[in-house]
């Protein structure tokens, strides 16, 4: 689980990189990582590597940003 501060920082960083829609994350399988799942069109427009690096620093976890597909079970960021 992310703290309120970490959730707010993730929302802020996505917004700063041009993504303002509600955030979704893949189901947590390890507390030391987070996978953010975004729609394909948004994924293509995001500066994925710099955003992931910023998120890793802010959250203190490994972070991936992926395009939504049937491969990912995701839920709203809570």
Region label for 16, one of left (φ > 0), alpha (ψ between -120 and 50) or beta (otherwise)? alpha
pLDDT of residue 78: 76
Where does residue 41 rank: exposed (0-12), middle (13-18), buried (19+ CB within 10 A)? exposed
In the chain, domain spans: 4-76
Phi and psi, residue 66, nearest 5°: -130, 160
Q: For 2-57, how does the pLDDT look when each residue is reduced to its tens digit (9 = 90+)?
A: 889 999 999 999 999 999 999 999 987 888 999 999 999 999 999 989 999 999 99
pLDDT of residue 11: 96
Of 76 and 28, the one with more pLDDT: 76
CA dihedral sign, ordered 58, 64, 69, 71:
negative
pLDDT of residue 2: 85
pLDDT of residue 30: 84
Neighbours of 77 (CB within 10 A): 17
Class of domain 4-76: alpha beta
């Amino acid at each position: 689980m992310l703290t309120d501060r970490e959730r707010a920082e993730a929302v802020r960083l996505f917004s700063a990189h041009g993504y303002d829609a509600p955030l979704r994350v893949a189901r947590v399988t390890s507390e030391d990582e987070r996978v953010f799942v975004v729609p394909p069109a948004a994924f293509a427009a995001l500066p994925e590597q710099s955003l992931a690096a910023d998120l890793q620093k802010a959250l203190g976890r490994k972070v991936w940003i992926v395009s939504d597909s049937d491969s990912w079970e995701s839920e709203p960021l809570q």
